[in-house]
Amino acid sequence: RALAAFHPYRLPAPHLSSMGGGVSIPVPLSDVRQEDLKAKYAKFIEEGLSEEDINTKLTKAMPGLVVFDQIDCDHTGKVSSRELKRTLRALPRKKPTPPEGGWPDGKPPPFVPFDAMYETLDSDGDGEISLEEWLDNLSKLPGLESAINGAIDPVTGKLKDYVSLEDRLAELVAKGDDATDEEKAKIESIRASLGETAAAPAEEAPAEEAPAEEAAPAEEAPAEEAPAEEAPAE
């Protein structure tokens, strides 16, 4: 049984991640996401799905899974309000492009405030967005979904302008003695929040660690700002 490279983002062989059943995922994913994929594959096998059906389902889920892996800063398997706000900061400040086939109902989606957006994604109301909630509910926010799709690098499958905490921390550490007291404090705060004690970069910054983390007001979020008059494009 083999499900070869179903993922649309073709990466070199060193990035291949092995799944159960001989499935290979040609994209670098965290250990948490790889386990998620293995669990999904096992579930589909138990349900008696054919190789073709499993391939179709995993291919459909992969783009959302790769982005979720990227914005799940601390790799807890959940996306917090701060992490989603940081994601919105990385999206283009313009009206999202209509998806293939046009917008649902034939008109651009209405403006959605951040709190309502988060509530839609966090369908069980536990305060965090799980992978399943992300995959199941993102389509309920067509503006956000379109903005994310338009910001994805076709080679890596990740958001192009999203600055990881790894990069942010590396930039601060590279300043050495030239770093300001505020920047030095941020370095220590980032490390502490992620359990880091060494100078090695970590993953993604929490809100207080990087300016991007401080969410733009809901009306700035390009994701759901469909009508131009409701949220002017930048």
Quick check: 221 pLDDT over 60? no
What is the percent of the chain where pLDDT is above 70? 70
The model's pTM is 0.66
* Inside any domain, residue 5: no
CA–CA gap between residue 21 and residue 3 (Å, rounded): 8
What is the percent of the chain where pLDDT is above 90? 18
* Inside any domain, residue 19: yes
Q: Are residues 43 and 147 in the same domain?
A: no
Q: Are residues 149 and 101 in the same domain?
A: yes
> Domains in the chain: how many in total?
3
Q: By residue range, what is the domain housing residue 99?
A: 78-162+212-224
Q: Are residues 84 and 153 in the same domain?
A: yes
Span 95-126, pLDDT tens digits: 778 877 888 778 888 889 999 999 999 999 99
Contact yes or no for 153/159 (Cβ under 8 A): yes
* Inside any domain, residue 1: no
Quick check: 38 pLDDT over 80? yes
* Inside any domain, residue 229: no
Residue 15: its pLDDT value, please? Answer: 32
Q: Of 44, 71, 98, which residue is a domain's last?
A: 71
Span 13-29, pLDDT tens digits: 333 333 333 334 455 67
Q: Are residues 143 and 198 in the same domain?
A: no
